Amino acid sequence: MRIETKLPKVGTTIFTVMSQLAVQHKAVNLGQGFPDFDGPELLREALNRAMHEGKNQYAPMMGVPKLREQIARKTEALYGRAVSADSEVTVTSGATEALFCAIAAVVRPGESVIVLDPCYDSYEPAIELNGGRAIHVPLDDETFAVDWQRVNEAVAPGTRAILINTPHNPCGAVFSAADLDALAEIARRHDLVVISDEVYEHIIFDGLAHQSVLRHPELAERSFVISSFGKTYHCTGWKIGYCVAPAALSVEFRKVHQYVTFCTFAPAQWALAETIERMPEHYLGLPAFYQARRDHFRSLLAATPFRLLPVSGAYFQIVDYSAISDRDDMSFCEWLTREIGVAAIPVSAFYETPPESKLIRFCFAKSDATLAAAAERLNAIKAP
């Protein structure tokens, strides 16, 4: 039987490759972005209770009403945007599903979507599977700031949408209010849909405020805004996210969602609704919680030959290893895993055309013991 791949550029994701290598060499895994600690006890107790109360059948396609109501209330409280729980909030089986559904809802064959490199590796395959083409616009090599003039120049006939990510994976950069204004001007000029990946919305540092597109009335009217309970509640394995979008966009989004997963694990939706309502201090405290981990990890690496780039949000630390090796970043990560016993992610995996810089990504969403074990091994590395 002849099989022609629809994704000729795609293999096994770098996260799977590096995690498997970490297991093989018994390395400390700072590669794949997941916490190695549990979420709130209240959340786990609520999940158990929901299952024992019989909330185990299909949830409504758009999500359990109580959870959508809590999302709507949180959205208004944090970003000043009143949204309808019934017509503008959809619960999904993870943020990756939400991203796929948003892209599938609006991108037609032959159209293009602007993405900002480095970018998460699911973006381009989702665009291509829907007959579209990704137009890659690189961020600044050092600061990872957006050159909005370059973005504007990249818009071509048939460009349908722009996909943004703040706080940013892998680099930890965050948008400012000025970035939202610049994005709005371009979206207005070219009539673009905005797909905003905000899964790290609660993980932002140094007193900064997360600049969700929901804060910007003009952008909110043309945007899919996607977030992740897995990132917020340290339960990435639950794979539960959500999308906030105007009613007209949500109608199209739900048309796709109902044929991708239809609905999402019901007991967890009830548990999350209860936890948001009863424990708002959890998500409100995440900036301080993760900033402490960021600062601790950076102090542990201070004496190593790695050059640490600034981190304003998310839970990843980009480091420059050029003082250690001339290897490309994939070879360096393989060496680091095999010989040093610490797994990381090569930043080139997030680019269409990687820059010459030598950068890798560590995840610091780990326990103190895990970070200490990794740092002990990394501190053994000496510059040549």
* Same-domain pairing of 371 and 239: no
For residue 356, is pLDDT > 90?
Answer: no
Residue 339 binned pLDDT confidence (cut-offs 50, 70, 90):
very high
* Same-domain pairing of 258 and 334: no
Q: What is the CATH number of the domain that holds 354?
A: 3.90.1150.10
**Nearest Cα to Cα of residue 322 among 311, 343, 337, 308:** 308
Beta strands 359-363 and 316-320: pairing type? antiparallel
6 occurs within a structural domain: no
* Same-domain pairing of 273 and 157: yes
Peptide bond into 167 cis (omega under 30): yes
Domain boundary among 247, 263, 279: 279
Q: What pLDDT is stored for residue 384 in this prediction?
A: 79
Peptide bond into 170 cis (omega under 30): yes
* Same-domain pairing of 126 and 269: yes
301 occurs within a structural domain: yes
172 occurs within a structural domain: yes
For residue 275, is pLDDT > 90?
Answer: yes
Q: What is the mean pLDDT of the chain?
A: 97
Say how far apart CA 254 and CA 266 lie, in whole Å: 17
Range scoring the smallest mean pLDDT among 239-243, 273-277, 355-359 = 355-359
Range scoring the smallest mean pLDDT among 5-14, 189-198, 242-251 = 5-14
* Same-domain pairing of 293 and 312: yes
Say how far apart CA 223 and CA 81 lie, in whole Å: 13
Q: What pLDDT is stored for residue 11 in this prediction?
A: 85
Q: Using one digit for the tens of pLDDT, what is the confidence trace for 71-125?
A: 999 999 999 999 999 999 999 999 999 999 999 999 999 999 999 999 999 999 9
* Same-domain pairing of 171 and 240: yes
- Expressed as residue numbers, the domain containing 252 is 55-279
Contact 351, 363 (CB under 8 A): no
* Same-domain pairing of 179 and 308: no
* Same-domain pairing of 247 and 290: no
357 occurs within a structural domain: yes
* Same-domain pairing of 117 and 211: yes
* Same-domain pairing of 192 and 272: yes
* Same-domain pairing of 28 and 134: no
9 occurs within a structural domain: no
Q: Which two tokens stand for residue 187?
A: 């979206």
Average pLDDT over residues 17-46: 95
Domain count across the chain:
2
Domain boundary among 253, 279, 305: 279
Q: What pLDDT is stored for residue 9 in this prediction?
A: 87
Residue 383 binned pLDDT confidence (cut-offs 50, 70, 90):
confident
Residue 12 binned pLDDT confidence (cut-offs 50, 70, 90):
confident
Say how far apart CA 25 and CA 29 lie, in whole Å: 10
Domain boundary among 279, 307, 329: 279
* Same-domain pairing of 219 and 258: yes
